Structure formats: C-alpha cells, structure tokens
Amino acid sequence: MDWFNNHLLTFIVFFPLVWGVIGLLIPTTSGSGVRIYKNYVLFGTLLTFLASLVMLDRFETYGEEFQFVESMSWIPRFGIQYLLGLDGVSLWLIILTTFLMPIVILGSFESVEKRQKEFYFLLLLLQTGMLGAFVALDLFLFYVFWELMLIPMYLLVGIWGGKQRIYAAMKFFIYTMVGSLLMLVAIFYLAHQHHLLFGNYSTAILDLYRVHIEGGSWLAPQSLLFLAFALAFAIKVPLFPLHTWLPDAHVQAPTAGSVILAGVLLKLGGYGMIRFAFPLFPEAVAQYQMVFIGLGAIAIVYGAWVAMIQPDMKKLVAYSSVSHMGYVIIGLFSLNAIGVTGSVYQMLNHGISTGGLFLLVGMIYERRHTREISDFGGITKVMPLFAVVFLIVTLSSVALPGTNGFVGEFLILLGTWKASPLFAIIAGTGVIFGAVYMLWMFQRVMFGEITHPQNKELKDLSLREKAVMLPLVIAIFAMGVFPNFFFKKMEPSVERFLSRSISRPIERYDESAYSNLNTKKDVNHGIAQSH
C-alpha cells in the first residue's frame, strides 16, 4: 500500500501494459477463452480508471505546481530522468483517457473477430503511451512515450483497418515521425544550452523553463526551436494544412482506433503546446500568435465546409474533428485566461462528443456494413433509442447550451475576441456551419421513409451498447451543467501557464464567474485582462 501511495502515477501509467502482458497467457483457442480474455482486459481498464479517481480525490487544487512527483535518475550523464508529475491540466486529460478506455474496450467486443488478443494488447500498450506522455516532466521521457504511441496505433490501423489501411497507417506514421524528429533535435539543443548556462545537462522541464533562448526575430534560435516543437504538435492536433493524414486514418481505422485517435491522441498536440512550446519560447509565441490564430480559424471553417459535402458518415465526423480542434488552437493562442480555459475544456469535450459519434457510426456499420448516408433514412422507426442517443451526442457536437460543447466554444470565442475580434467572428461562423452539417446528416440518416429493405430489420441498441453510451451521455450533461467542478482544478495551472507564456503577470480570476455559463452570463468581469 505504501508503494501504491508513493508511486501512484507509475502504477496508473504502467498497469495497463503489465496487465496486458499477463493477459497474453490466457488461452483464447475456444469461445469461452475469448470471452474470459475480453472481460479480463475490460476489468483491467476499469481498475486503471478507479486508480485515476483516487488521484483525482487526492489532488490539491492549490497545492504544489506538480503533484504526485516521482523522480529517479535514468541517464545521468545527460541529465535525463524518469520524472513524472501532473497539474490541473494533465489531471483531466488522464481522467479522460482512463474514462474512455473501458468504453472503447466494451464497444469492441462484437466488432473485432481476428487476432483479438493482439488487438486488445495493443490498446493497453497505447494507453500506457498516452498516460505516460501526459505526466512526463522530462522532455526526453516525454519523447519516448510520444514515439511509443506510434507503434500500436500504426498496427491497429494497418491490421484491423479498412481496404486502404496500409496507405492510411503509413501516412499517419510518416507525418508524425517527421514532426517528432525535429522536436528531438530541439530537445537536444535545449539540453546543451542548459549545460552552457548551468554546467550540467538536463531535460527536466522545470530546469529548461529557466533557460532563456535568444529571440526577437523570425530566424532567431527561439523562433526556430518554437517552430520545431509547434510543428510536431500541430501535426498531432492536426492543424490546417497539416491535417490531411487525419481523415484517412479515421476512416480506415477500426472503431476503437478512431475513438482513441479523436478522444485522446489529438489532445496531445494541444497539451504539448501548453506544457512545452509556450512556456519554453514565450517571445516566439507572441511573434507567431496571429499566424496560429489565423490557421486555427481557417481550420474551423475549412473543416466544416468539407464535412458538409461528405457522403460517408465517418469521414464527416473526421473532418468535424479538424474543425473542432481549430477552436483549441485559437483559444490557446488568445493568451488570456478565458480562452486557455476554454481550450483545455474543449479538449475534454471533443474527446467525449466525437468519441461518442465514432462509436455510434461504428454501431450502425456493424449492422449494415456501410457508412454511406444515402444508404439510410427513417432509422428512428426501427432504432428509436439509437436515434435519441445519436441526437444527444450530435447536439453536444454542435454546442447546444446545456451540453459540454457549448461551454468550451463559448469561452474560446470570448477569449479570442480579446486577441482578435476579426478571427473571433470568422471562428464564430464555424458554430453555424457545424450545426448545418451535423443536423443535416442526422436528418438524412434518421428521418424520412425507409427506402432500403435492409434497414427495416435493424435492431435497436443492445444492453452492451447501452452500457457503452450511457457514461458518455452522462458526461455530456454533467460537463455542460457543472463546468465549474472542472475549472476549479485547472485554474492554478492555467494561471502558471500564462505567467510563463507572456511577459506580464497574470491576475487571479474569480471562479464564480463560470457558474452560469449556460445562461450566457457575462463572464468578462471574472477574468483578468491578461492580454
């Protein structure tokens, strides 16, 4: 018990991997063996989620900047450490990851037929990589977890994906690897600069925060280093025009891969900006602020327009991810408390709503083996409960007040207005376009006459599918009605992030200002004028 208390993060990060390795010993040659193995994997992900809830309960809102810190020398000659810790931002991303994983596992019980043991093991390995990246406080260790995630996702798409799975897997791998290599070079440069300034190498993030890199021009070292980090994270987001790998990966990936890709992996791009790119290179951030806000605004509108003309439901949802993640970028680069808070919240929202959409599309695909919108119509007559759940998740995606999506987008647009009213207006049109393509898709799939005979025989949600979707529906309304519960934990971390990312000190903001967001209460007085 003492080991668990002192090494809680290590347990949360590596338990899925250890559990998966042990699970490989379970024989799966018979049907009963396969069922036992699936339940074993599901139980392991639930244990990880419970451990993360223990961490949430023990997290002190106004405690140390990084809590549950674990440190051990790893490669001392180069100052590389096994260093873990989390703050109020990474806390909620860990909760999101451990919350989604049991849902993904349960949602895959009937959809994966070949190599099931390898499939679930790769999901557990992927979970370890994602969790490790969110809590690594050493840049080299972060890079190890960052690269570790590539392997299982590449295999999940390449083995269990659609007809063009090899093309999609290679494109995903190449895009991410190119950005990662530039980031690795920048990491080595930072470690060398620490050695020049302080006499020793270090890749610990708090040590590197103290290293000032020369800035002031477009070709200054700080600007180039920022671009190296920002490129890696922008590819992961993905930000226009680096987004082209995402629709292919989403469409070809199995449902579980699409949910994890949208729900968690994309968030690592935004998280990397918060933890590394902004605090390490504040002058470069100010220099490129409007460039990235502009690209984010373009991504919002472009993603919505392209989604509007998609005939495939899954590809429509994939392009909606491009649009929604554009909000995350403009909120972060607004460089004020209200926009950054909205961005962090939007990352959580997107994981819930878009993950839910991919699950629902996967459920209808399992029944009809098609995702073409034109192959449906009148589904509400045979699948009324499915239609209700689909409507709830759709309304969350279009940011209806009372749902989680409204809170994040509302804050982001307010924060962006402070930085650039023009780009805020452009981004605001994305809300309208988002409602158009999502509700139009819902109308064509759910209403009208049943023109295809196969649709008359469709069965409504099973008990397992109800269990998959119920937690997501609860989260949609809980996050929409009680956002302040989440804001309280992340508030000090947002303040520290801004204090490092811009030159002027950041005042505290009144958390009560967020309590009535769904009535569009004016929250401007509750936020410090930080930009």
Please give the DSSP secondary-structure letter assigned to residue 518. Answer: G
| Reported pTM | 0.88
d(CA 193, CA 216): 18
pLDDT of residue 529: 36
d(CA 174, CA 236): 12
Would you state the structure tokens that stand for residue 218, as one six-digit string?
């477009």
Residues composing the chain: 531
Cβ(79)–Cβ(40) below 8 Å: no
How do residues 233-292 score in pLDDT, each as one tens digit? 999 888 888 888 888 888 888 888 889 988 898 899 999 999 999 999 988 988 899 999
Q: Which residue has the higher pLDDT, 126 or 211?
A: 126
pLDDT of residue 396: 92
- Residue 266's nearest CA partner among 236, 234, 245, 239 is 236
Hey, how many other C-beta atoms are within 10 angstroms of the C-beta on 95? 18
Cβ(285)–Cβ(501) below 8 Å: yes
pLDDT of residue 457: 84
d(CA 35, CA 47): 18
d(CA 20, CA 442): 38
The overall average pLDDT reported for the chain is 87
d(CA 392, CA 385): 11
Looking up tokens 């490669």 gives: 75
Cβ(434)–Cβ(398) below 8 Å: yes
When pLDDT is averaged across residues 200-228 and rounded to a whole number, the result is 86
Would you state the structure tokens that stand for residue 435, as one six-digit string?
């409602």
- Residue 415's nearest CA partner among 523, 336, 518 is 336
Would you state the structure tokens that stand for residue 432, as one six-digit string?
């309208």
pLDDT of residue 1: 64
- Residue 45 clears pLDDT 70, i.e. is over it: yes
pLDDT of residue 125: 95
Looking up tokens 């961005």 gives: 343
pLDDT of residue 512: 41
pLDDT of residue 129: 94
Cβ(512)–Cβ(487) below 8 Å: no
Q: Which residue has the higher pLDDT, 218 or 521?
A: 218
- Residue 182's nearest CA partner among 236, 246, 226 is 226
Residue 85 main-chain phi, psi, to 5 deg: 180, 165
Looking up tokens 């992900």 gives: 45
Cβ(157)–Cβ(169) below 8 Å: yes
pLDDT band of residue 507 (cuts 50, 70, 90) is very low
- Residue 148's nearest CA partner among 162, 161, 136, 160 is 136
When pLDDT is averaged across residues 424-442 and rounded to a whole number, the result is 91
pLDDT of residue 527: 34
pLDDT of residue 219: 79
When pLDDT is averaged across residues 94-100 and rounded to a whole number, the result is 95
When pLDDT is averaged across residues 16-25 and rounded to a whole number, the result is 92
Dihedral of CA atoms 527, 320, 181, 280 in degrees, nearest 10, equals: 0
How do residues 132-170 score in pLDDT, each as one tens digit? 999 999 999 999 999 999 899 999 998 888 888 899 888
Residue 81 main-chain phi, psi, to 5 deg: -125, 155
Q: Which residue has the higher pLDDT, 472 or 211?
A: 472
- Residue 528 clears pLDDT 60, i.e. is over it: no
pLDDT of residue 415: 92
State percent of the chain over pLDDT 90. Answer: 49
pLDDT of residue 505: 41
- Residue 218 clears pLDDT 70, i.e. is over it: yes
The residues, any chain, with a CB within 8 Å of residue 522's CB and separated by 6 or more, are none
How do residues 51-70 score in pLDDT, each as one tens digit? 999 999 999 888 888 999 99
pLDDT of residue 178: 85
